[in-house]
Amino acid sequence: MQARDDYCACRYIIASHARSACCIRCLVTHFTVRHDLQELEDRKTELDERGSNISDSTPVVRIKAAIKSIKNELQQMSVHIGVLQHQLLQVLLAKSRERLTADVVSG
């Protein structure tokens, strides 16, 4: 009878350990799946950010605006250079007239 009681006790302990092992396996699986899902979510977020950066045209718009601004500045400089050339030509013509007048008077 003692052997039977020992057998039943051992069987109960084994069943208890088996249930514990099953619970531990379930917990490990749960945490592993949860970790994998978190890692997948992180990767998905990273890829979404990369995709939005690739499709984001803000840098291109800024570059176009900068080019337009530079073109406007070049046009203004060109007008300014034209005005200065005109003024220089007027000064040179005035000096040339003065020389001609001085040559005619002295000559």
pLDDT 10s digits, 63-94 = 999 999 999 999 999 999 999 999 999 999 99
Mean pLDDT value across residues 39-58: 80
| SS3 of the chain | CHHHHHHHHHHHHHHHHHHHHHHHHHHHHHHHHHHHHHHHHHHHHHHHHHHHHHHCCHHHHHHHHHHHHHHHHHHHHHHHHHHHHHHHHHHHHHHHHHHHHHHHHHC
What is the per-residue pLDDT for 84? Answer: 94
Confidence label for 107 from pLDDT (cuts 50, 70 and 90) = low
Instruction: Specify the pTM.
Output: 0.45
